[in-house]
Structure formats: structure tokens, C-alpha cells
Amino acid sequence: MGLLSLLLWTPAVGALLLAFVPGQQAAFIRHIAHFFASLALLLSVWLVMCYDRLDAQLQFNEYFPLNPTLGSTYALGVDGLSLPMLLLSTLLTPVALLASSTTLSGPVKGYHICMLLVEFGMLGVFLAQDWALFYIFWEIMLIPLFFLIGHWGGQRRHAASLNFVLSTLGGSLFMLISLLAISQYGSEHGDLLMTTLHQAAQTMPLQQQIMVLLGFLLGFGLSMATFPLHGWLPLALIQAPTAVSLLLAGILLKMGAYGLIRVIVMLPEAAQALQPLLVFLAWFGMLYGGLLAWRQSNLKAMVAYSSVSHTGAVLFGVASLNELGITGAVLQMTAHSLIATGLLLMFGILHTRTHTNSRFNYSNLTEKLPHFSVLLAVVLLAAMGLPGFVGFIAQLHILLGGFQQWHWLMVVFCLGWLINAAYPLRALNLLLMGPAKPALGPLDGLKPTEWLAASVLALVIVGFGLYPAPLLDLSAATNGQLARLIHGRIAASIQPLDHAQ
């Protein structure tokens, strides 16, 4: 078994083992889940250490035919685009389990099985190099998320879980239709490998490429909650338990962005034709999400709408179709995963003590929870995109990529970032400053598991902000290759037109 298979199947083995553990042994169940989640994290760190950052090609490839008739294969591989997402998935899963260790109510066994299955699906999506396998893992991940929200969520959990699954399954349907359309051109090769369909897409007429890309945009856009396909996200984040909301905002949204980048590299001519639409959706999403995040009274809803704004920033970087923009999009995916997870974790900690998510019920937390306030301030400052935090590096690359493509029009687009910086500044003022509210009463300090989870996220946010070189080097070769593939295909499609004229 290769390293990628070992990493992929680790959480699945943990979930299978938990199925045979009696449900009354809650502590033992937690220990097993934490062990396999931590083991997956160690394997991903080992993978990063073994990964050749100078090689832009897929590495650690594994290939095994599953169904030659349908052309599906068990094909795994990793590159600079998928490796950061793998590392995030294996990092945030233990953080989510730590977050739920003191707040979980209800069946412990079923909850931890579902959490490990979610990690299994996430890892499969980022490792799969066959579109059929990609789709299978995508669907595998949605099923346990439906149960996690519907069984362990808030008062409106049933509506939230149903809304979530219908929206994401609807997006999966558009994704499947687009995959079937491309596969018609790759049928002579007899497989659904990403590299094969990448070559097959070159033979598609432009109009069909545009229709296929629109299908993918609907499918992946629903998953990444881009405007105007974001309707499921606020309800799901508010009603989901804290640990599940961490994975929704931290990983699920990035899976859609990851898939969209793969598709745009496969269909660059269509992406160029739809570039005005992509830029409009990105810019309007940034404005819309930032403004709604500003006016939210519910803290988790604020994170949900800010995620719409950050998703717009990712889409903006991808729409630039150049190396700086793609690099910025990948960095923004990483930065938002860490920042949104940190905010949801801190707000979840507050909710366990006060049972309210309204920001108007909090004030001057620096006196009641000094250590908590320091960690929350770090995450809120990072959400503003200030230098010294990971969000600044991402936004800088997106701005440079946009300036390279649209020059001084970026002055207009920067309005989205200004609005997006307003909501964390306001939250910082309302939550940590001002007169104390006696109604809050005394609040318990951070528990060891809460302290560990929050400190890890804060250290990573600050660490990559002050020293971003390892994060940049991890994806640099692959991002450069993706940009060259895009430019090469676009240039090749323009040349016949020039000869014809």
C-alpha cells in the first residue's frame, strides 16, 4: 500500500473500528477517533516532508483499474494544489474533535464515526485523479455531514440538514452532467482520468466547453457558496454543531474552489469567454458578503457571510487566469480555512458558556476571559487582512494578479477588501472593548482542549503570516505549470483565428 492510500484509508479504518466498540464506552471511542485523526495528520506531515516542491507533476501516483467497462480507476496523486488542502483537512479534523470533546451531547459513537467518514471523503476528493473516483468521494462526504447536522445540530437542524443536502446534491447533479459531456470526447481513451479528460476537452467546440463550464460553475459554486448560490450556508453554519461548522467553512467550501480550479485548467478557453461573468460574481460576492457580514447580529451568521466574501476573493484570483492570481486563490483558500475555523471555534466556546450567539450580548471580554480575548483578537486581526497574518499574503497575491490582468480597474475592485475588513474591526470593538455587561456574569476560562485547539490555529495563522515561504514554495511549481497550461491553450486557440484573418 502506497503512502497516499495509507493516508486515505486511515480515517476509514478508524470509523470501521468504532463500529465494533460498545456505545457506552464514550471515553474509549473519543480516544480511538483522536488517535486515527492524529495519525492521519502525522501521515500528511510526512507526505509534505517527502514531497518534492520543485516538481510540478503529480507525485506518489497510485493506479489500479476498477471497472474497465466504465473506464473508472483507483487513481491517486498529489501536487502543489492538492497538498495544502490535504494538510488542512488532516489538521482541522483533530481540531474539530477537540472542539467537540466538551460540548457533545447525544450518541458519541455515531458522531465520531461520521466525523471520521467526513475526513475520509475529504481526503479522497483531494487525492483522486479520476473524475469518477472524485465524484464518489464527494458523495461519500455529504452523507455523514447530513446526519451530523440533522442529529447533533440546533433547533432548526432538520431544515438545515435538508437544505444542505438538497443544495449540494443539486450541485453534484450539474457536476455529473458536465463530466458526462466531457467523457463523450474521451471515450476513445476508455478512462475518466483527469489527464485524459484534460486532453479530450481540447477537441470540444468552444460553445460546448462554455456550457460544460457553466455546469461545473453551478456544481462547484454551490459547494463553495459563491454568490448567488450561497443560500444554504448561513443556516447550515448556524445550526450545525461547532465542530461540524469548522469542517463546513474550513474544508467543504475549499473543495468547491479546488474542483473549479481543476476544471478551469481543463477548459481555459471557456474560462476566458466567461471571464466577465466570473469577475462580476467574484466582485459582487465580495461586496455582498462583506456588507451582510457587517450587519449580522448572530456571530456564526457573520462568519457565514464573510465566507461568501472570501469565496468571492478566491473566485477573483482564479478568474485572473494568471500565476499570481492562482497562487493568491490557493493562499486565500488556506487563509480563510484557518481564519473561519478560528472564529467559529472561538464563538463556539463563547456559546457553551452563555448559550447565545448574539454579538450584542457581549462586551469587554478582556476582563472576563483575558486569554480567550488574546486568541480571538489574533483571529479577528487576521480576518482584516493585516500584515503579519496569513490573510495578508493571500490578498496581496490576488491584488497583484488582478493588477497584472486589469491594471487600474483594481482600484474599483479593492472596495470589496475594504468592506471585508470592516466587520472584524467592528466585532473586535463590540466583543473585547466597551463597558462590561453585568448580565453576563462570571465566565469559565478556557479548558485544556479548547486552549490547545485555539492555540494551534492562532500559531499557524501568525506563523504563516510572518514566514509564508514554506506555504508559497509548496504550491509554486504547480501553480506555475497550471498558469502555463492555461496560457498555452488560450494562445493555441487564438492562432487559428489570426491565420484565418
- Gyration radius (Cα) of the chain, Å: 22
Residue 435 confidence class, pLDDT cut points 50, 70, 90: confident
Quick check: 168 pLDDT over 70?
A: yes
Question: Taking residues 429-454, what's their average pLDDT?
Answer: 79
Q: How many CA atoms lie within 13 A of 340 on its CB side?
A: 34
User: Assign residue 196 a region: left if phi > 0, alpha if psi is -120 to 50, beta otherwise?
Assistant: alpha
Q: What is the C-alpha to C-alpha distance for residues 278 and 271, in angstroms, rounded to an integer?
A: 8
Q: Which of 48-57, 262-271, 348-357, 452-461 has the lowest mean pLDDT?
A: 348-357
Q: Does the N-terminal peptide bond of residue 387 adopt cis geometry, omega within 30 degrees of 0? A: no
Q: What is the mean pLDDT of residues 38-44?
A: 96
Of 104-113, 134-143, 424-433, highest mean pLDDT: 134-143
- 287-310, pLDDT tens digit by residue? 999 889 988 888 999 999 999 998
Span 71-103, pLDDT tens digits = 678 899 999 999 999 999 999 999 999 888 766
Residue position matching grid coordinates 456571530: 299
pLDDT of residue 68: 66
129 within 8 A of 61, measured Cβ to Cβ: yes
Could you tell me the pTM of the whole model? Answer: 0.91
Q: Band the pLDDT of 449: cuts 50, 70, 90.
A: confident
Long-range pairs for 31-34: beta carbons < 8 A, 24 or more residues apart: 32/112, 33/97, 33/112, 33/115, 33/116, 34/94, 34/97, 34/98
DSSP 396-428: HHHHHHHHHHHGGGHHHHHHHHHHHTHHHHHHH
Q: In this structure, what C-alpha cell is assigned to residue 447?
A: 479548558
Provide the pLDDT for residue 253.
87
- Looking at per-residue confidence, does 18 or 67 come out higher? 18
**Helix, strand, coil in percent for the chain, rounding step 5:** 80, 5, 20
Rounded CA-CA distance 99/93 in Å is 10
Question: pLDDT-based confidence at 495, cuts 50/70/90?
Answer: low
Q: What is the pLDDT of residues 128-142, one digit of tens each?
A: 998 888 999 999 998
Residue 497: band (very low, low, confident or very high) from pLDDT cuts 50, 70, 90? very low
In the block, cell 469565496 appears at 311
Q: How large a percentage of the chain has pLDDT more than 90?
A: 41
The three-class DSSP label of residue 117 is: helix
In this prediction, what percent of the chain has a pLDDT beyond 70?
94
CB atoms < 10 A from the CB of 392, how many? 18
Give the residue from 56, 82, 127 showing the smallest Cα distance to 478.
56
d(CA 177, CA 287): 31
How crowded is residue 110: how many other Cβ atoms within 10 Å of its Cβ?
A: 18
Whether residue 399 has pLDDT greater than 70: yes
Locate 338 and state its grid cell: 484557518
Q: Choose among 132, 126, 136, 11: nearest CA to 77.
A: 126
Cβ atoms < 10 Å from Cβ of 359: 19
SS (HEC) of 50-63 = HCCCCCCCCEEEEE
182: confidence class by pLDDT, cuts 50, 70, 90 = confident
AA identity, residue 48: V
What was the pLDDT predicted at 17? 95
3-state secondary structure 359-394: HHHCCCHHHHCHHHHHHHHHHHHHHCCCCCCHHHHH
